[in-house]
Amino acid sequence: MIDTIYIEEALKDHPRTHAIIKRLRPTHIISIERYSEIFNRKKQNFRIQKRNPALILAQKNNRLVLPTPEGYGISTQKNYYFSHMLNCLYDCRYCFLQGMYSSAHYLLFVNFEDFTHEIEMTIQQENEPVTFFTGYDCDSLALENVTHFAHEFLPLFARHPEHLFELRTKSINIKSLLQTEALKNVVVAFSLNPNTVINALEHKAPSAEQRLKAMLDLANHGWPIGLRFDPLIDHIDYQKNYSTFFKQIESTIPEASIHSVSIGPVRFPAEMYAKIAQLYPQEKLFASGLKKRGQMVSYTQEREQELTFFARTQLGRWISDHKFFTCLPEAA
């Protein structure tokens, strides 16, 4: 799967480096001074790199925990995120990471202890419950077999039951969660779409059925489940496809296990959109329905409202009102 690992010189003897090498047994191990030698250099081509990404093991030294952008949150007033990794195993055509970095390599920050420390510091400074999001710049669980991220962070989350932590994923790599007693303050939030959308746009990601099965296993184990319909994709027959899928979820996941639901139609910052659309000029998603609105590229306001209203109404038939949240960057 990953045949090349770049390792920052200073991390060559780090126990996590050794563990990852043992797990992956890569063909090539290449020493580097700093990850910036490899990652996000000028003249790199995301699309070509995505065909065979390498793993970079690096250390992140500052800005380890950051406030989320305005309007991003589930239930608490204050929200933070931290990114132990940049980039993703999957290849969703709408993914903003494609426009964010020119590199598709997986950049893993192995200094988990520093993240833990900074999260603890942030908690100390707050006198109210806050939410910490993971999976903002990657999928939280997709590379769990390699990183052991969830496995290593669950004890931290367990020490702070008054604060909320979200693992955002499309992955079915849930073994480490099933091997742990469920934590009520950790939401395992699944990004969901019907198979029609998955097949067309969420390349290499598990099918809707696989995600539902993983959600059910986790729900049965007691983990709170998040449903993330973000992004909703407009297409011919979207009503039929989404409503069939919503019914499938309803008949699989008990409402009581659902912690929260968020709904958001596809939106891109305009500059990022230009980069992504240039990477994939023959991509259907970018050929239909998206318009520049202020600083964002999105569906028209009416179309967004129609899509959101449709999803909200359908899901609202069996999910309590207070569980719904909207995570949307501002459009004009």
Partner 1 sequence: MTRPQFTSRGQVHLVMALSLEAQPLIKALKLKRDRNTKAFPLYMNNTGNISLVVSGKGATNCAAATNYIAGMSSDAPHAAWLNIGVAGHASATLGEMFFATKIESTYETNSFHPTIRRNLGLPGATILSVSNPTPEYPSGVCVDMEAAAFCQNVKRFAATELIQCLKIISDNQEKPWTDFDTKTLPTLFDQNMPNIATFIEELLHLSNIEAEQNVLPGYYQELTQMWKFSQTQDHQLQKLLRRWETLEINDSPLRTFDATSLNRNAFLETLEKHLDTIQLKL
Q: Which amino acid is at 21?
A: I
Residue 93 is classified by DSSP as: T
Nearer of residues 123 and 263 to ligand SF4, judged by Cβ: 263
For the segment 54-73, give every residue that binds ligand SF4 (CB under 6 A). Answer: none
The first and second tokens of residue 44, run together, are 């790199």
CB 284 within 8 A of CB 310: no
Report helix, strand or coil for 282: coil
CA diameter of the chain? 56
Report helix, strand or coil for 70: coil
Q: For strand 164-169 and strand 130-133, is the pairing parallel, antiparallel, or unpaired? A: parallel
Distant-in-sequence, close-in-space partners of 17: CB < 8 Å, separation ≥ 6: 7, 11, 57, 110
Report if residue 170 touches ligand SF4, rule: CB under 6 A: yes
28 binds, among ligand SF4, partner 1, none (CB under 5 to 8 A by kind): partner 1
Binding partner 1 by CB under 8 A: which of 13, 27, 127, 302? 27
Task: Tell whether omega for the bond before 231 is within 30 degrees of 0, i.e. cis.
Answer: yes
CB of 4 to ligand SF4, least distance (A): 20
Binding ligand SF4 by CB under 6 A: which of 55, 88, 249, 266? 88
x/- letters, 138..167, toward ligand SF4 (CB under 6 A): xx----------------------------
284 binds, among ligand SF4, partner 1, none (CB under 5 to 8 A by kind): partner 1
CB 278 within 8 A of CB 243: no
Binding partner 1 by CB under 8 A: which of 233, 253, 276, 296? 233
Distant-in-sequence, close-in-space partners of 161: CB < 8 Å, separation ≥ 6: 183, 184, 185
Nearer of residues 52 and 77 to partner 1, judged by Cβ: 52
x/- letters, 238..277, toward partner 1 (CB under 8 A): ----------------------------------------
x/- letters, 180..219, toward partner 1 (CB under 8 A): ----------------xx-xxx------------------
CB of 95 to ligand SF4, least distance (A): 3
The secondary element (H helix, E strand) that includes residue 39 is: none
- Residue 140 sits at the vertex; the CA angle it makes with 112 and 14, to the nearest 5 degrees, is 25
Question: What are residue 110's phi and psi, to 5 degrees?
Answer: -90, -5
Residue 246 is classified by DSSP as: H
By CB under 8 A, name the binding residues for partner 1: 3-4, 6, 27-28, 30, 32, 37-38, 41, 43-45, 47-49, 51-52, 54, 196-197, 199-201, 233-236, 280-289, 291
Residues that bind ligand SF4 (CB under 6 A): 88, 90-92, 95, 97, 138-139, 170, 205
